[in-house]
A and B are shown apart, each in its own frame.
Chain A
């Protein structure tokens, strides 16, 4: 379970303070899949980084399975797998297998355990053919699969995906969606940010909408459809943002 309590994050850009998150609070239950929605620069990545204990909140705190992200970051890191958007975070000069082995070793996994897990993930993502090839020659889809495998190498209970399907073709996006379904069946807690509303509608149990660093909505997706009398997430999202601009906050 993830508890985000009154989290504010400010960055100092030269002499000006920029507020990326303003008193954000919500809860993610164990086994829940939650979609994080917001425009570019809304604060989604910052929030994911705070949850992952990569950034320290200026105010408030985040508890992951009861562990404080600031006071017990090592405990958090053991439980969380993160895939940030844009670059895939892989070493180009290493093979896919070497990348996975390296990260497995950093999570303290033994050789046998690593081998079994890599076999499992290679089968899951259909990576067996290129496991021993250097990542530098991979297509975007292949890289993304290896990056997701790296995120899951230590079998984390909580997974954070930051715009995971951006730039992926339809096949790779579908593979990702199937993966989320499978992880959900395994009882994993997943937070993922996305611009693709259909994807969020398809995969998520609930949504959190962030606008200019403020949480403008958090709740079950069915309840959202009901209250807005629409199942068009694009429309709902836009209307929430307009209301957010008018000072609305749920």
Chain B
């Protein structure tokens, strides 16, 4: 009986074009946009060309930028005006006779004009600061050497950077992107169906027709919960597959970041298990909101804020590095699923963390399901 109701619910859910659009295609579209946004964010500043306004009478100062092919110098009578008009990303003004002043150790001045609210302008200003800093160091080195002094006097120590992780730094973007995709796709995607399955059936009186059959309420609630879980799982997995295809075939930097430490199959398998568990938790939350509601509209109003409970923990761990994840992150249900997912993206498979995450979320799912089941047994929640 459970199978018959489940199959009918699935057929009903996936037959509606609007639901299909909202639950499957929209999350996929949103996630694809997010993937390409992150890809462009990573590649920003690497191959990007910037336009820099300079004075018309610029002299040898031009040579400072000779090695930087991505900076195009454009001469303007009023460079500041050119920035204001959005004709260039930034402007640079050198004091008159700048190179001569520097060479003769007189006081010289450079002014950088830009718009900090513009990403491109900010990038160019940072780049100009680095270029001028390097030029400054070169000038100081020349002066020290000309004075017959040791260079070590102005460079007392050297700084070396060494990363603990041998991973591509862009993997962290993936560690943010994947849980984000999963939480939004499953949370948003399963909502319309869950609203239809309980509140919608009450509204259309199909619930009364169902309750009039000899099928027990327990079987009904199981079948309906299973349907919401399945829809969430399908959406989660389909979205992840689409994003994976996009990463592998249409991105360069994100693709280069994927490594999984040679555990690709295990990582993918566990990611699917985590997705299923998360879909089950979401299904239980959505089931309760839909039982409480009398209409589909009401269910939608309730589920949106309540689903924040399931999405918010992902926001908390967004800025936490994988090595910073502590016991607390793995002890709190829902949050521990995102923590495990983060580890998996880094190719880390910690059986204890995975075990705690699965068991604790199954307990939460069971408790929420039982609350929903108890409500479904009461007439006041089942009939409007």
Contact = CB atoms under 8 A, between A and B. Distances in A.
Interface of A: 11, 49, 52, 54-56, 74, 77-78, 80-82, 84, 86-94, 98, 102-103, 105-108, 150
B160 interface: no
A49 B379 CA distance: 11
Nearest to B378: A56
Given A89-B209, A93-B16, A102 B4 contact: yes
Given A89-B208, A103-B213, A150-B209, A94 B11 contact: yes
15 contacts: A52-B212, A54-B383, A55-B383, A77-B212, A80-B212, A82-B209, A87-B205, A89-B204, A89-B206, A89-B209, A92-B204, A93-B15, A102-B4, A103-B209, A106-B215
Given A74-B216, A90-B204, A98-B11, 7 more contacts: A54-B379, A74-B214, A78-B214, A89-B206, A102-B8, A106-B1, A106-B214
Nearest to B19: A93
A93 B15 CA distance: 7
A90 B4 CA distance: 16
Contacts of B205: 84, 86-89
B206 to A, nearest CB: 5
Contacts of A90: 204, 206, 209
Interface string B192-221: 000000000001111011111111100000
A102 B209 CA distance: 11
A71 to B, nearest CB: 15
B72 interface: no
Contacts of B214: 74, 77-78, 106-108
Interface residues of B, number: 24
Give the 3 A-B residue pairs with the shortest CB-CB distance, closest first.
A89-B209, A87-B205, A106-B213
Nearest to A105: B4
Given A106-B210, A107-B214, A93 B12 contact: yes
B74 interface: no
Contacts, number: 69
B325 interface: no
Nearest to B220: A106
Contacts of B213: 77, 103, 106-107
Contacts of A80: 212
Contacts of A82: 208-209, 212
Contacts of A98: 11
A82 B208 CA distance: 9
Contacts of A108: 214
Contacts of A89: 204-206, 208-209
B129 to A, nearest CB: 61
Interface in B1-45: 1, 4-5, 8, 11-12, 15-16
A54 B8 contact: no
A74 B383 CA distance: 18
B206 A91 contact: yes
B208 A54 contact: yes
A54 B212 contact: yes
A16 to B, nearest CB: 14
Contacts of A81: 212
Contacts of A105: 1, 4
Interface centre among B5, B203, B214, B216 (most CB of A within 10 A): B214
Nearest to A85: B205
A174 B12 CA distance: 32
Interface string B150-175: 00000000000000000000000000
Contacts of B216: 74
Contacts of B208: 54, 82, 84, 89
A26 B203 CA distance: 32
A94 B4 CA distance: 14
Contacts of A77: 212-214
B154 to A, nearest CB: 77
Nearest to A93: B15
Contact of B12 (A11, A88, A94): A94
Contacts of B379: 54-56
A237 B333 CA distance: 62
Nearest to A90: B206
A47 to B, nearest CB: 14
Nearest to B379: A55
Interface in B328-384: 379-380, 383
Contacts of A56: 379
Contacts of A55: 379, 383
A54 B204 contact: no
A88 B16 CA distance: 19
Contact of A106 (B4, B15, B16, B383): B4
